[in-house]
Structure 1
Amino acid sequence: MDKKIEHLGNISGKVLLFGGVYSNLQALEALKQVAEHEDITPENCICTGDIVGYCSQPEETVQLFKIWKAKSIAGNVEIQLREGSEDCGCDFRKGSRCDGFSQLWYAYAQSRLSKNALKFINTLPDHITFNYAGKKVMVVHGSYFNTSEFIFKSTPWEIKSANFSVENQDVIIAGHCGLPFSHKKEGKLWINPGVIGMPANDGNSSVWYAILEGHDGVLKYKHHTLNYNYKLTSKLMQNELLPKEYARTIITGIWDNTEILPAVESGLQGFGIQL
């Protein structure tokens, strides 16, 4: 199937990057306030996908995203929802804890999204491209070749590098893995801004995003933490239809398990993010 790519052309000013809203309405509200405080226009706010996910307010989150008019690509969750699939397409190992949990939260989200929300989800492109500070940038979810591919900082550069050759990109903005990082090599830059819907397994309740700034043809970026009303998010998740383990993660900042993580990232659990 041909990919749907939204080309934004040349953009300037600050660019807010984030991913994995995961139906976390309180985090999205807080991030929208950051954008307004930083004077970042909605069209310069770009999500790497998975607006819908683990938390308790999928419909409200999609509707706020629409009102905000920020940009987003389709994550694996959006792709599965618009196709009416029975699972989230996260590429969890069959029978794993994450796979079992996903059967709960995905069914919950699917049952609570309106036709209006699904219509919006269906408009999301597979990728976004733009030119910024003299660089060609592409936004992907997992990777260009596989929406559900888990790519981490420790993932070999050879795996990342193939993505840059698709349209001779200089910068890849990616999501899916849930952890913020950057990796620069051979004049290319891979940035994962992190996700705002769940903590980054670092032992903190705060979540992550990034801001790009271009000056005189030089692209700069910085990762930031976001504080929000996580206690309310966790409280709303404590119902019989969602995994209690994820409600606990919202509070503790520690993932229930590290089964998707490579050894390097798994060993850093609870020790903060190494940027």
Structure 2
Amino acid sequence: MSKKIIDLGTLSRKVLLFGGVYSNLQALETLKSIAEKHGIPSENCICTGDIVGYCAQPEETVQLFKIWGAQSIAGNVEIQLREGAEDCGCDFREGSRCDGFSQLWYPYAQSKLSKNSLEVMSHLPDHIQFTYAGKKVTVVHGSYFNVSEFIFKSTPWQVKVPNFEATDSDVIIGGHCGLPFATEQDDKLWLNPGVIGMPANDGNTEVWYAILDDSDGVFHYKHHTFAYNHKLTSELMHNGVLPEEYARTILTGIWDNTEILPPFESGLQGFGVKL
């Protein structure tokens, strides 16, 4: 199947990057306010996908995203929802805790989304490309080859290289894994801004995003965190349907399990993010 790729041309001034909204309306509201405070226009705000996910307000989140006018690619969750699939397509190991939890939150999200929200998802591209400070940038969810592939900081560089080659890119903006990181080699950069819908397993309730800056004509990036009304997010998740463990993660900043994590990232649980 051919990919749908949108080329935004050349972008300039600050660009806000984020991923994994996961139906967390309160986090999205706060991030939108941050973008407005910094004077970053909606067309320069780019999401790596999974607007919908674990939290309690999928419909409200998609509609706010639509009103904001930010850019996004399709994450595996959007692809599965718009196709009416029976599972989230997250590539969780069958029978794992994450797989069991997805059998709760995914049908919940399906039941809450309007036809209009599904229509919004149907127009999301597989990838976004643009040029920034002379560098070609491609936005992927998991990888260019597999939307559900987990790529981490510790993932060997040789696994990342084909993504640069296939897209003829200098920079890959990735998502899906839930953790912020940056790795650079051979004048190439893989940048994951992190997600805003869930903490980064670092024992902190704040969530992650990144900003690109070309104010001096050079490609710069920086990770940032922000606080939001996480207590309300968690409270709304106690609805008798969604996993209580995810509601607890919102409050503790610690994931219920580290099943998807490689040893390096698993060992950092609760010790903060090492950028």
User: Do they superpose with TM above 0.5?
Assistant: yes
Are the aligned partners of 1:19 and 1:51 in contact in 2 as well (CA < 8 Å)?
A: yes
In the alignment, what sits opposite 1:50? 50
Secondary structure in 1 matching 2:103: helix
1:26 corresponds to:
26
Separation in 1, partners of 2:246, 2:216: 44
- Whether contact under 8 Å (1:133, 1:215) holds in the other structure is no
Distance (whole Å) between structure 2 residues aligned to residue 127 and residue 24 of structure 1: 23
For residue 184 of structure 1, what is the aligned residue in structure 2?
184
Residue equivalent to 1:65? 65
Q: Are 2:30 and 1:2 equivalent residues in the alignment?
A: no
Contact 1:138 1:172 in 2 (8 A): yes
CA deviation after TM superposition for structure 1 residue 166, in Å: 1.3
- State the number of aligned residues: 275
Q: Per-residue deviation at 1:217?
A: 3.5
- Alpha-carbon deviation of 1:226? 1.2
Deviation at 1:48, TM superposition (A): 0.1
Secondary structure of 2:67's aligned partner: helix
What is the CA-CA distance between 1:215 and the residue it aligns to? Answer: 3.4
- Unaligned segments of structure 2, at least 5 residues: none
The aligned residue for residue 166 of structure 1 is 166
- Contact kept in structure 2, 1:154 and 1:262, CA below 8 Å: yes
Instruction: Compute the displacement of 1:216 (Å).
Output: 4.2
Which residue identity does 2:25 align to in structure 1? L
In 1, Cα distance between equivalents of 2:200 and 2:235 = 19
Deviations 1:99-132 (A, max 9, x none): 0000100000000000000000000000000000
State the TM-score, normalizing by the size of structure 2: 0.99
Letter of the structure 2 residue corresponding to residue 181 of structure 1: F
Give the match for residue 220 of structure 2: 220
Aligned counterparts of 1:217 and 1:190: Cα–Cα separation in 2? 20
Residues of 2 paired with 1:174 and 1:9: CA distance?
Answer: 19
CA distance in 2, matches of 1:248, 1:136: 40
Partner AA of 1:24 in structure 2: N
Alpha-carbon RMSD across the aligned residues, in angstroms, is: 0.5
Query: 2: distance between equivalents of 1:235 and 1:167?
Result: 42
CA distance in 2, matches of 1:11, 1:256: 39
- Residue correspondence of structure 1 range 123-272 to structure 2 within 5 A: 123-272=123-272
For residues 68 and 253 of structure 1, the distance between their equivalents in structure 2, rounded to whole angstroms, comes to 27
2:40 equivalent in structure 1: 40
For normalisation by structure 1, the TM-score amounts to 0.99
Q: Which runs of 4+ in 1 moved over 6 A?
A: none
Distance 1:176 1:10 in 2: 25
1:120 match: 120
SS at match of 2:167: coil
Following superposition, the deviation at residue 167 of structure 1 comes to 2.6
Structure 1 regions of 5+ residues with no counterpart?
none
Give the whole-Å Cα distance in 2 for the aligned partners of 1:213 and 1:61: 27
Cα offset, 1:168, TM superposition: 1.2
Q: What is the distance in 2 between the residues matched to 1:192 and 1:205?
A: 19
The Cα of 1:212 is off from its aligned counterpart by: 0.2
Is this contact kept in 2: 1:133–1:216, CA < 8 A? no
**SS of the residue aligned with 2:219?**
strand
Alpha-carbon displacement from aligned partner over 1:238-272 (angstroms, at most 9, x marks no partner) = 11110000000000000000000000000000000
